[in-house]
Amino acid sequence: MKSRLKSSISDNLTISLDSTLELVRVWEDQLENIGRLMVRDSRTQEKLLALIEKSSRGRKTREELIALEELAWLRSHLGALCKQVDYVGFVVFDETGYQVGALLDGAIGGRELMKASDFFRRAMTGEVVLSLPFWAEIPLPDATGVMVERRPTMFHAFPIKDENGTNRGVLGLRLRPEVEFSKIFKGARTHQTGEAYAFDQDGVMISDTRFHGHLRTIGMIPDDMRSSSILRVGVRDPGGNLTGGYRPSTPPDQWPLTLMANSAIRGERSLNVEGYNDYRGVPVVGAWAWLPRLGFGVTKEVDYSEAYGPFLVLRDIFTGLVVGLLLFLLVSFYLILKKRKVESALDLSDHYYQAVVKQSSDPIIAIDSSGAIQNFNPAAERVFGYAAKEVVGDNVNRLMPEPHYSAGHADIQRFLGNGISNVLGVRSEVTGRHKDGGLIPLELSVSEIKVDTTQNYCAILRDISEQKKYEKELLAAKEAAEEASQVKSEFMSRMSHELRTPMNAILGFAQLMNNDPRAPLSDDHRENIEEIIKAGERLLFLINEILDLADIEAGEITLSMEAVNIRDLAQEISEFMIPVALQNSVEIINESSFDEEPIYFFADRVRLKQTLVNIIANAIKYNRENGKVWITCGARGGATGTVSIKDTGVGISPDLQKRLFKPFDRLEADQRGIEGTGIGLALSRRMIEMMEGKIYVQSEPGKGSCFTIEMQTVQPSEIEVSGVLDTGDGLVEDGKPRFTVLCVEDNPANQRLMKKVFTPENGYRLMIAHEANLGIELARAHNPNLILMDINLPGMDGVAALRELRLFRETKSIPVVAISANANEKDVDRAMIAGFKHYLRKPLQLEKLMAVVHMEFDE
């Protein structure tokens, strides 16, 4: 009887361990897929390499590294991805292990992580590495965002390779071991005492345990709800049951490793159903394995008293039988009844394990080494349509079409021959065959079950038909939502454009009537016309806002990025808004005007001005009588600056702040009798984010609000001149320029830049046109060698201008290079399809510009 129970316990421990190991593998695959998705983007690779390159030009301090534009970009993009998948953040290492960038400031500079773990060294060999948990080198945020000292951390590390495949550094994604890693082992917490956990080479637990209460009571971990067993509990035998009051005289680090840990660390996979002490000193039975590639062990354990409950009752009976031999005649009948009761309990235990298989919602099929079906549970009957008696004894190929059966059978035979398997312990998707001939998508996991000398195999399947159906429906729903969003955006754009045409006519004719000296209006009529003009201008402003919002949502808005002196712009806007403020009895105070040090934002001047006017107008509109509005500009550490608009208005409650930037949400403004559409702030935020800036608000009801815009700063010289350029080898002949360049560009700063680059001394004749029609005329008259065309021109844009150039014989073959601040791939593809030969992004990298020019000259 004990032998039967041991065999049953062995099977269950083995199945549970295999399931846990499979979960570890699936989790590792998911991590690698997520990581590769995050870093495979070419722009991300470019920024990582640029950050490492810049940091190598003389060792930089933490503050200097934080100020780098590449790190700001990575924080914005990789940081958002980390937040989506609940990672703590990322760290970028150069090839020496120096931490040149991170999402958290404290992790930048120094080599603390290289000293704490070996994942950097392994990743520099080209390996994708999952580190073991270790104590974090800096305070880390917990699940609620509170920074906590001495927390476990772990990394998933990827080598950073240059275009030649050389390892230039490492990107480490920081994980929370107490969340995802420990979650793997929670599924094995069966019955009252069953648990699974992981441990490292030193016998230190690196996942969480189910016995927090016990461990806190006996002092093995701190009495703190944030504390876990990770890195705090050694898998060592105290020599007695700590939960029963036993207290050893030696400290924990002098206790020997448990029997299980000692075996696993030697690389053995085994099990023990005879009983041994665990880290609490409680007798347990268990199965374990060592994962050499990952560098840790995994075990599944159950308290001995729970596993052998029926047998312990039987042992007590036999002990009583020996003692009771003296009273044999008096108690023999009682002992016989008791013996039957124990046998019934043992049968009940065996029936319990059978019931687990029968009541499983997933099909479970047992086969022997030849493929003959030995067991076929009710869930398998339901999925495949066969009764168990129809298939038991038949070959499993009855349930699996080719090539799935042949592959599986060959794998089993190979495993029997050399112990190597591609199927055992691996979760895979296969196709099953129903009794009616229909095909069923299934998820399959196969484990080996060895009883005495007999080798059998247990296949656990899951019908994923519904999952596949839902995946298809989800994809269709996503496509429908995207199509609906596109239709909405196109409708808003089309509607706004259609409204502008009659509105322009209304305003134009009203202005003509108001200013026509040949037919002067009476005072009453003039007052009426002025009301029409005022209302029409207001309506045109609202139409323009809707049009801008529609263009942003459709991805069609364009930006012209340049260096903008924010102090000059703030002064200009404050003077422009003073009449509006006076009408509302509000005073505008421009504090930035007293500071002469210029600050240049890298921005689209028109869109930045539109945003600031919108915010200041709101500060006036929602202010109190005799209130104030302050405008303040400043520079922050690194390459960022801010402009803030603070008011003494009604303020905004925390609940309303959550809705502040949603389109068409007016935040109860109707109740105050204030006009508006609720578009302005949503439009402002999206424009600022398109310029890679941030906008945020601080507000308290009754005390006013403060809106702050944070943008990248530049120096005008950085945009106009970029290093020493090879601008004209071989382009001067007999003292005269040989190469004519036509630049069609409306931005004065960019025109000045072109004049500095394309000089007669360097062999260039430069012509400049500020709009497309003039550019077409110059091209037809002078037949330049190359045309540099800004996409975002007033009136006719660059794409339309290119189409015009292709209509004329004298200009149709001139190479045209697109220059634009639009950075997304859709804009690039659209330009290349239109016929541009090259596409250069603003701000211009002059090395790339000159490379294109030389390429065309050589041709």
pLDDT tens for each residue of 733-779: 555 567 899 999 988 777 888 888 888 888 889 999 988 998 999 99
pLDDT tens for each residue of 215-232: 888 888 887 766 788 999
Domain containing 608 — which CATH number? 3.30.565.10
Structure tokens at 427: 């979760």
Same domain, 245 and 264: yes
Same domain, 155 and 280: no
Same domain, 498 and 371: no
Give strand ranges (E) for 81-191.
89-94, 99-102, 129-130, 134-135, 140-141, 147-148, 152-161, 167-175
Is pLDDT above 50 for 345?
no
239 within domain boundaries = yes
Classify burial at 771, counting beta carbons within 10 Å of its beta carbon; exposed 0-12, middle 13-18, buried 19 or more: middle
Q: CA–CA separation, 93 vs 99, rounded Å?
A: 5
DSSP string, 12-42: HHHHHHHHHHHHHHHHHHHHHHHHHHHH-SH
Length of the chain: 859
Q: CA–CA separation, 745 vs 193, rounded Å?
A: 75
Domain containing 534 — which CATH number? 1.10.287
Pairing outcome for strands 732-733 and 739-744: unpaired
Q: What percent of the chain has pLDDT over 70?
A: 79
Same domain, 588 and 655: yes
Q: CA–CA separation, 823 vs 500, rounded Å?
A: 29
More confident position, 502 or 597: 597
Give strand ranges (E) for 266-336.
270-277, 283-291, 296-303
Is pLDDT above 50 for 327?
no
10 within domain boundaries = no
Q: Choose one of 463, 478, 507: the last residue of a domain.
A: 463
Same domain, 84 and 204: no
pLDDT at site 362 = 84
pLDDT at site 858 = 74
Pairing outcome for strands 167-175 and 89-94: antiparallel
pLDDT at site 593 = 56
Q: CA–CA separation, 460 vs 321, rounded Å?
A: 44
Count H helices, E strands: the chain? 27, 31
Quickly state the pLDDT bin for 108 (edges 50, 70, 90): very high
Q: Provide Rg for the chain, Cα atoms.
A: 37
Same domain, 549 and 569: no
Tell me the sheet residues that pair with 157.
129, 172
pLDDT at site 335 = 45
More confident position, 22 or 497: 22
Q: CA–CA separation, 157 vs 159, rounded Å?
A: 7
pLDDT tens for each residue of 704-746: 999 999 999 887 654 443 333 344 444 445 555 678 999 999 8
Among residues 282, 288, 254, 284, the alpha carbon closest in space to that of 268 is found at: 288
Is pLDDT above 50 for 316?
no
433 within domain boundaries = yes
Q: Choose one of 714, 730, 751: the last residue of a domain.
A: 714
Give strand ranges (E) for 69-111.
89-94, 99-102
Phi, psi (degrees; rounded to nearest 5) at 635: -110, 140
Q: CA–CA separation, 715 vs 520, rounded Å?
A: 53
Per the structure, how many domains does the chain have? Answer: 7
23 within domain boundaries = no
Is pLDDT above 60 for 12?
yes
Query: DSSP assignment, residue 151?
Result: -
- What mean pLDDT do residues 526-539 have? 79
Same domain, 354 and 251: no
- What mean pLDDT do residues 577-588 have? 90
Check if the beta carbon of residue 63 is closer than 8 Å to that of residue 638.
yes
Q: CA–CA separation, 278 vs 531, rounded Å?
A: 87
DSSP string, 747-807: -HHHHHHHHHHS-GGGTEEEEEESSHHHHHHHHHHH--SEEEEESS-SSS-HHHHHHHHTT
**Where do runs of H (alpha helix) occur along 562-679?**
566-583, 605-621, 654-657
Most confident of 441-455, 550-564, 685-699, 716-730: 685-699
Domain containing 85 — which CATH number? 3.30.450.20
Count other C-beta atoms under 10 Å from residue 632's C-beta: 17
Same domain, 249 and 319: no
pLDDT tens for each residue of 476-521: 777 776 676 666 666 665 665 566 656 656 766 777 677 767 778 8
Q: CA–CA separation, 399 vs 396, rounded Å?
A: 6
pLDDT tens for each residue of 145-198: 788 888 999 999 999 998 888 999 999 999 999 887 888 888 778 778 899 999
Structure tokens at 609: 């001005």
Structure tokens at 201: 């080479």
182 within domain boundaries = no
Check if the beta carbon of residue 831 is closer than 8 Å to that of residue 799.
yes
Residue with tokens 């360049």: 741
Element of type H or E holding 340: helix 328-359
Same domain, 780 and 849: yes
Q: What percent of the chain has pLDDT over 90?
A: 31
Rounded to two decimals, the pTM is 0.41
- The secondary structure of the chain in percent helix, strand, coil, rounded to multiples of 5, reads 45, 20, 30
Supply the range of the domain harboring residue 499: 468-553
28 within domain boundaries = no
More confident position, 473 or 416: 473
**Where do runs of H (alpha helix) occur along 392-464?**
404-418
Most confident of 195-199, 488-492, 530-534, 656-660: 195-199
Same domain, 525 and 482: yes
Same domain, 529 and 600: no
pLDDT at site 670 = 47
Check if the beta carbon of residue 603 is closer than 8 Å to that of residue 670.
no
Mean per-residue pLDDT of the chain: 81
Same domain, 702 and 646: yes
pLDDT tens for each residue of 242-267: 988 899 999 999 999 999 999 999 99
Judge if the upstream peptide bond of residue 238 is cis by omega within 30 degrees of 0: no
Check if the beta carbon of residue 801 is closer than 8 Å to that of residue 789.
yes
Quickly state the pLDDT bin for 132 (edges 50, 70, 90): very high
17 within domain boundaries = no
Classify burial at 594, counting beta carbons within 10 Å of its beta carbon; exposed 0-12, middle 13-18, buried 19 or more: exposed
Label residue 511 left, alpha or beta by phi (over 0 means left) and psi (-120 to 50 means alpha).
alpha
463: helix, strand or coil: strand
Q: Choose one of 505, 521, 553: the last residue of a domain.
A: 553
31 within domain boundaries = no
